[in-house]
């Protein structure tokens, strides 16, 4: 198991017709997160850098029933390959990019192993709900970058 990855994860992958640098540029721009968010909760970036990097902090306006703001911190960063962030609850959203012949394989993971209360997230149904959101996000990324071939 890779350091920082627990057995409390859900993930899915897709392949898009773009190189990893182009995909990473989108993921690393918090002002564009609403464009690919499949959960329907992300509204817009409200604070932080235009481009994320190691340890960067950024605020996002969200809406899940009621509007709220959340502050995230980048906790994994490998330019063009991997980016992950978390907020105060410490569960992690991770994107892994792998160059493939057709373009880029994007794997999104929700990792609730490092969460302050992983059992509460499980009881609340967060893993299954986030897997549905991951699949919707990957469809949106495919729409943005196109399918291979």
Residue-wise pLDDT for 26-35, tens only, equals 999 999 999 9
Q: What homologous superfamily does CATH list for 9-144? A: START domain (3.30.530.20)
Q: Specify the pLDDT at position 7.
A: 87
How far is the CA of 47 from the CAs of 42, 72, 119, in angstroms?
Answer: 14, 10, 31
Using the structure block, give the residue that is written with the tokens 């991951």. Answer: 134
Q: What is the pTM of this model?
A: 0.92
User: In this structure, are residues 45 and 60 in contact, taking their beta carbons and an 8 Å threshold?
Assistant: yes
User: Among candidates 126, 114, 117, 141, which has minimal Cα distance to 37?
Assistant: 141
Domain residue spans in the chain?
9-144
d(CA 66, CA 124): 18
Local confidence band at 5 (pLDDT 50, 70, 90 cut-offs): very low
Between 78 and 64, residue with greater pLDDT: 78
Q: What is the 3-state secondary structure (H, E, C) of 64-129?
A: ECEEEEEEEEEEEEECCCEEEEECCCCCEEEEEEEEECCEEEEEEEEECCCCCCHHHHHHHCHHHH
Q: How many residues does the chain have?
A: 149
Q: Specify the pLDDT at position 6.
A: 58
Mean pLDDT for the chain?
94
Q: Specify the pLDDT at position 64.
A: 86
């Amino acid at each position: 198991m890779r350091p920082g990855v627990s057995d409390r994860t859900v993930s899915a992958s897709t392949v898009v017709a773009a190189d990893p640098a182009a995909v990473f540029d989108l993921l690393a721009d918090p002002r564009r997160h609403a464009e690919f968010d499949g959960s329907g909760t992300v509204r817009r970036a409200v604070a932080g850098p235009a481009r994320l990097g190691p340890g960067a902090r950024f605020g996002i306006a969200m809406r899940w029933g009621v509007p709220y703001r959340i502050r995230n911190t980048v906790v994994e960063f490998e330019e063009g390959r991997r980016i992950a962030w978390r907020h105060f609850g410490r569960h992690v959203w991770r994107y892994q990019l792998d160059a493939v012949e057709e373009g880029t394989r994007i794997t999104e993971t929700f990792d609730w192993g490092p969460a302050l209360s992983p059992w509460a997230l499980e009881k609340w149904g967060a893993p299954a709900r986030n897997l549905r959101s991951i699949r919707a996000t990957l469809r949106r990324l495919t729409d943005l970058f196109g399918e291979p071939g």
